[in-house]
Structure 1
Amino acid sequence: MAKTTPEQNKAVALEAFDTLFNKRDYAAAERLWSDHYIQHSAHIAPGRDGLFNLVRALPDTARYENHLMVAEGDYVIAHGRFSGIGRPAAWIAADVIRFEDGKLAEHWDVLQDEATQAESASGLPMFGERFPA
């Protein structure tokens, strides 16, 4: 079993999300996600194929942007935005990823529609420094 550092895991997570969601390079993404990938999301079918098929079904405008990643041991939490996904609002996500042998092995997510400035009780954006256009 290959042991990776939290910093290496963060770099792989960022590369994996960019490769799959932004570049749609499924062959390269297969090298980053485990063959035995476990998906805990309520809206994604099981396994790596479930995730890849979801991305294949998204509009070409779909994009992932990362704002923050934290890591400890074999776990990474990514705070990001999924935009252009065919919904009225982008999704702001907290993705929890477990790594095994340097690959994404297991995933949980927490998703919320991105609030506009008019919808934000706090008056602060949910992602980055600005509200969505």
Structure 2
Amino acid sequence: MPRTTPEQNKALVLEAFDTLFNRRDYAAAERFWSDRYIQHSAHIAPGREGLFSLVRTLPATLKYENQLILAEGDHVIAHGRFSGNGRVAAWVAADVVRMEDGKLAEHWDVLQDEATRAQSVSGLPMFGDRFPG
């Protein structure tokens, strides 16, 4: 497959995240994640199946929203929120993805619970311009 541009990589990551996390279409998601996918997250079992298995355990209300996406070369960083995760707080994440042959090939993340207004020492929300409800 021809090498993809940073703009194409950003679009692929957003479509992949929507397909897996929002639509829960595992068959379609397979076309976005490499079968040699390398997972560096401490919260997710190895490989593509480790990720898909985790998502299957999360509530059907799970929703991914993207706030910012950046790409350079074959790396993409997506700043997003995973709400409806069955926990008190949504997760705010910086997902770093390495692309290879037009697929998500490797992943790292920085993940934390979203702070409320009362919890925010800075007085600013972690995602968007409003605090969670």
Q: TM-score, normalised by structure 1?
A: 0.99
Match of 1:119 in 2: 119
Distance (Å, rounded) in 2 between the aligned partners of 1:85 and 1:40: 21
3-state DSSP of counterpart to 2:12: helix
Distance (Å, rounded) in 2 between the aligned partners of 1:18 and 1:5: 20
Distance (Å, rounded) in 2 between the aligned partners of 1:78 and 1:88: 23
| 1:83 pairs with 2:83 | yes
Match of 2:58 in 1: 58
3-state DSSP of counterpart to 1:106: strand
Q: Percent identity?
A: 80
Alignment length, in residue pairs? 133
Distance (Å, rounded) in 1 between the aligned partners of 2:28 and 2:9: 17
Instruction: Point out 4+ residue stretches in structure 1 off by more than 4 angstroms.
Output: none
Q: CA RMSD in A?
A: 0.6
The one-letter code matched in structure 2 to 1:92 is V
Runs of at least 5 residues in structure 1 that lack an aligned partner in the other structure: none
| 1:6 pairs with 2:2 | no
Distance (Å, rounded) in 2 between the aligned partners of 1:66 and 1:32: 17
Deviations 1:7-32 (A, max 9, x none): 00000000000000000001110000
Distance (Å, rounded) in 2 between the aligned partners of 1:120 and 1:111: 16
Distance (Å, rounded) in 2 between the aligned partners of 1:12 and 1:121: 35
Distance (Å, rounded) in 2 between the aligned partners of 1:103 and 1:129: 32
Distance (Å, rounded) in 2 between the aligned partners of 1:93 and 1:85: 13
Distance (Å, rounded) in 2 between the aligned partners of 1:37 and 1:66: 22
Deviations 1:52-80 (A, max 9, x none): 00001100111100000000000000000
3-state DSSP of counterpart to 1:79: strand
